[in-house]
A and B are shown apart, each in its own frame.
Chain A
């Protein structure tokens, strides 16, 4: 068996997928680091020894502010065109804005208000409260909740004692929990509901305004946005909604006092279909309307008003107008028209002048930039150093001016503005732009990788025969990568790793595809054209995979993913017996043998064997269906699923109040744990794998049960209420720490022992010492070949050995001495399952380890998972036997697509059935604290634990994947026995997995094909969710459904591929060990 080439090929395929995912994700999911520092009043010390020491003590320009946020208030909705005689439903519906700006030009102004992508409400609220550019993933330490931990307006207002009253969209409540003086959230989830939020606000808005219980009033209306999602902007309902908003604004304006600032704004725009989330101008351009009863703009329309106000600019402007420090991470720039050009000539009593405001702003932005660049390296260094040089020049210029008592020159003001603008542009380029080129490159690499996987899986035997086939293309590809690096270095001066990877990956894919095509062309024996659709695309397995991939493109199906996958799994598994029946294999031929004896070749299986295999298929199907159905009761619930009740088994026992329920759950979990271990041991014992004194058997005999005991004790300790045994509190605390640690240690030990010596074969030369000396065990013709190398001798010898050993394959069954012969029998217990036993053991150990990271109730689900695996393996094995009953295997040991698709679907299904969901709030963070109740210092370990918990089912199914190859062989012996019972020669049938060693080429190719096919199936699903994210990046649900789904699918693929490699490596390790074992045996036998 060729090990290294196979592993290298698999690694290369995985690497292709990783590169593709990395490329796409780096273009699609923009990541930014959160800076958890807050500005203080002391930060805003004005230079030049100003009279007021503390900025926050000064008299602000406005004492109060009203912020009306009208969700999705596009600039087109706010503009008024008197010439438009036939306005469309969304045009000219807010005349109040136009009336105010034209009648009181120094009091009111309307600007387009440009949001930064992603233009989704939550990101936008973050944006215009922190002044930053929130991305889809803001890396901070608030994984578990959506609360904003970055410095923000609401926090700063609270710090100086301003009372913030909020009403409207309940997103705010989750973003700023307990930050408001008073809060009236209304449910925002139902997009079809146009009125609940708005009417709720209107019930309270005016009363609140009239009262004196507030300083800042936030009201977030959702009706316009929901109307857009439901009907689109061009609909009478939109006209109604906008007219209502017009009235609201009028009423609010009427109730404003002189010291109050009114801001009416949209958080983003909408496309012509009413959606948002992307970066087109229709989505980004909202409206902002500023008004105050006292003059707001010092010189009516004097200097050049900005054409567009970026959304980040609201934060510094509001902060300085209300007299609070600018939030730490803001990258905005103050809106100059709202500040007087010179402090002393202004009408307003205590406002900052433009230069002062800009100076405070620039200092804050510079401070943020310094902090950020010391934490993260994603801002290009050259622009960073340029910005810093700019700032130090400007600051010395400004300070010297102030010290000399001169008024700041307009040039200085202009250059401060330029500085702020370039900071914002730099940050935006880093954080707020999809990179379509990288996304496209990612999709291309991914698509090619999938095609490649398919093509290579079809020609795995050729690959095993000539492993050098791919060397030249890969070397060329590496050269291309290096060339791209060199080119980039020459042209740009620096190299971007992602593009080099993309170039290398894509070129290697294309070259290999081209190479395989040539090979195929030359291999006329294959008979199939390269472009004709192969069989796979006509099978229901492919249809099911296609449906699964298509379901990833619809938000409803992603939300219902658990059910959808179960449905597909059920359909495909029902298809198997149907297909067997259709091919006439399920029932033994009923026609009387007399009639057909001459016509049909005699079947390879006796009718009784056929009947038994059919029964096995049906029993497996029953078990599969039962575990599928039961597993449905372990699902969690997404927030989108309204009437869903999460499974009661998802609660940790310590949270269950009712002690009877608690005990019941505990006993159930314990029973499933026991069943898990017992089933494994029973299986191993049945196939004679528990006899040898080796370390693997030690693992199975002792470590596995000990691990279960540890788990059971740990659950008991964890479920103990804190107050029940006061005097035992210390012991309980110790147990909570020590038991999981012991379990981890046992698991580690078990895995180490298993990899040290995975053989579970026990050999015994039975009662043969005297006989052995008399009769030479190997037939003479082999012994005579002294000239042949030991390798060749081994090769010849081994089949002879099997002939002996096969008789002792079954547990406890002593090797029968062949009748009438006095030859010695070599007993080898467990040789028939030499490959699958370590795998099964590994799965069992890993399963227990992963179960440790789950809530106790999931033990039931894990047991179901094992039963389902067994059922699928059984169905697969029996259907292979039934399919092959007419003759020998047609295609070696190849595992067909149907069981693999089932296998892959089952991994997704149990992802759901272990209480996981592809959403971030549903991640089971508790897993990070198993064994570490005090928390962690680093992030690697908790991240690993949470990953292991989240992708437990992916891990188990990926590791167990090679079992699909072995199981038909493991089960083969029964067919053979049946055959012998029917009077046929069953001798060739009974060597089980040793068959694989006889044809190492076919073994290698089947193993390679199996893993590549599994990678293909997983990769196709990743491809579908990548396409979903790319195509639907404007969709309402992109950040709630598709982007998280993409993250989970991609991470699941990563984990799966790694563990497929682990499984394959273990199989190879066993193969090496078996080879050594035979070598040790050889001199023994041939002596």
Chain B
């Protein structure tokens, strides 16, 4: 597939790959957008602040569906060595397990960052689900259920394709967005978006969208400097 041709400095190839990425990112962004707009039309009383958890899960769900579909269609994920059903099932099970673990991981980290332990456990866990869908899910889709590859991808020379680079960016932006989202919480402004976890989930989604925009642009901009070692 294209990921193996990426180390050839062929600009047309590059352009095609970047265009592919840009369009898939546009679909992902529009998925987030639809997840906000469609329930607003269908569900009475829906609003981002008021029924925040509903919005959160709708975004998380749409991101999940769009991601899985797109990456499956694009076939970005690493080629499986074995094609047996057993292997596929075990991969699927491991993916689900990792996603669940990632939810718990994010929940723990957020609690350690200062979220209340018990009172808002549901809200905190929902944020963890959202963060998982924005970050870990993409890791699973791009790299497969392989934690070592995930760790490897977040190093300076760890990216091995444009999809890896975009993964770095999207995940980084989402996390930084959620981190920044915590800043307005202590302020005494009494705004609806300061309620836990609205600002953080908004921050992470905004960061995610930023990442979706920035990644293709950055790769396009630096396409001449980028070289990938083949795996």
Contacts and interface: CB of A to CB of B under 8 A. Distances in A.
B151 interface: yes
Contacts of B148: 587, 590
Contacts of A584: 155-158
Interface string A307-330: 000000000000000000000000
Given A556-B188, A563-B186, A581 B155 contact: yes
Contacts of B152: 587, 590
A564 B151 CA distance: 29
B112 interface: yes
A564 B112 contact: no
A396 to B, nearest CB: 60
Contacts of A566: 114
Contact of B179 (A192, A564, A571): A571
B187 interface: yes
Nearest to B183: A547
B196 interface: no
A564 B186 contact: yes
Interface in B87-125: 111-114
Interface in B155-198: 155-158, 179, 182, 186-188, 190
A932 interface: no
B154 A560 contact: no
Contacts of B112: 570, 625, 628-629
Most chain A CB atoms below 10 A, which of B113, B148, B182, B187: B113
Nearest to A558: B186
B186 A556 contact: yes
B114 A632 contact: yes
A632 B158 CA distance: 37
A567 interface: yes
A584 B148 CA distance: 13
B203 to A, nearest CB: 14
A567 B182 contact: yes
Interface in B34-80: none
Contact of B113 (A555, A560, A567, A581): A567
Interface string A953-994: 000000000000000000000000000000000000000000
Interface in A569-611: 570-571, 578, 581-584, 586-587, 590
A563 B187 contact: no
Given A582-B154, A582-B156, A584-B156, A570 B113 contact: yes
A253 B111 CA distance: 59
Contacts of A564: 186
B187 A567 contact: no
A624 to B, nearest CB: 10
A554 interface: yes
B186 A581 contact: no
Nearest to A591: B229
Interface in B213-230: none
B113 A557 contact: no
Nearest to B172: A578
Contacts of B187: 554, 556-557
Most chain A CB atoms below 10 A, which of B148, B179, B188: B188
Given A556-B188, A584-B156, A563 B114 contact: yes
Which interface class (under 10, 10 to 19, 20 to 34, 35 or more) fits B? 10 to 19
Contacts of A556: 186-188
Nearest to A583: B156
Given A567-B113, A570-B113, A628-B112, A581 B182 contact: no
Contacts, number: 46
B187 to A, nearest CB: 5
A583 B155 contact: yes
Contacts of B188: 555-556
B151 A581 contact: yes
B155 A557 contact: no
A570 B112 CA distance: 8
A564 B111 CA distance: 14
A581 B154 contact: yes
A571 B156 CA distance: 20
Contacts of A563: 114, 186
Most chain A CB atoms below 10 A, which of B114, B151, B158: B114
B186 A557 contact: yes
Nearest to A561: B186
A560 B155 contact: no
A587 B114 contact: no
Nearest to B187: A556
A179 B88 CA distance: 82
Contact of B114 (A192, A555, A557, A567): A567
Nearest to A191: B188
Contacts of B151: 581, 586-587
A610 B119 CA distance: 41
Contacts of B186: 556-557, 559-560, 563-564
Contacts of A560: 186
A541 to B, nearest CB: 16
Contacts of B154: 578, 581-582
Interface string B111-144: 1111000000000000000000000000000000
Contacts of A629: 111-112
A640 to B, nearest CB: 9
A501 B102 CA distance: 59
Interface in A663-710: none
A625 B110 CA distance: 12
Contacts of A583: 155-156
Contacts of A587: 148, 151-152
Interface in A610-639: 625, 628-629, 632
Contacts of B111: 629
Contacts of B157: 584
Nearest to B156: A582
A582 B155 contact: yes
Interface string A514-557: 00000000000000000000000000000000000000001111
Nearest to A1037: B188
A629 B151 CA distance: 25
Contacts of A192: 190
Contacts of A625: 112
Nearest to B182: A567
A885 to B, nearest CB: 14
A519 B8 CA distance: 50
B160 to A, nearest CB: 13
A590 B149 CA distance: 11
Contacts of B182: 567
Contacts of A555: 188
B98 to A, nearest CB: 18
Nearest to A566: B114
A581 B114 CA distance: 25
A625 B155 CA distance: 23
A264 to B, nearest CB: 32
Contacts of A559: 186
Contacts of B155: 581-584, 586
Contacts of B179: 571
B60 to A, nearest CB: 23
Nearest to A562: B114
Interface string A24-63: 0000000000000000000000000000000000000000
28 contacts: A554-B187, A556-B187, A556-B188, A557-B186, A557-B187, A559-B186, A560-B186, A563-B114, A564-B186, A566-B114, A567-B114, A570-B112, A571-B179, A578-B154, A581-B154, A582-B154, A582-B155, A582-B156, A583-B155, A584-B155, A586-B151, A587-B151, A590-B148, A590-B152, A625-B112, A628-B112, A629-B111, A632-B114
Given A557-B186, A563-B114, A586-B151, 4 more contacts: A192-B190, A556-B186, A567-B182, A583-B155
Q: Which 8 A-B pairs have the closest CB atoms?
A: A560-B186, A556-B187, A584-B155, A556-B186, A556-B188, A582-B155, A629-B112, A563-B114
Interface of B: 111-114, 148, 151-152, 154-158, 179, 182, 186-188, 190
Interface of A: 192, 554-557, 559-560, 563-564, 566-567, 570-571, 578, 581-584, 586-587, 590, 625, 628-629, 632
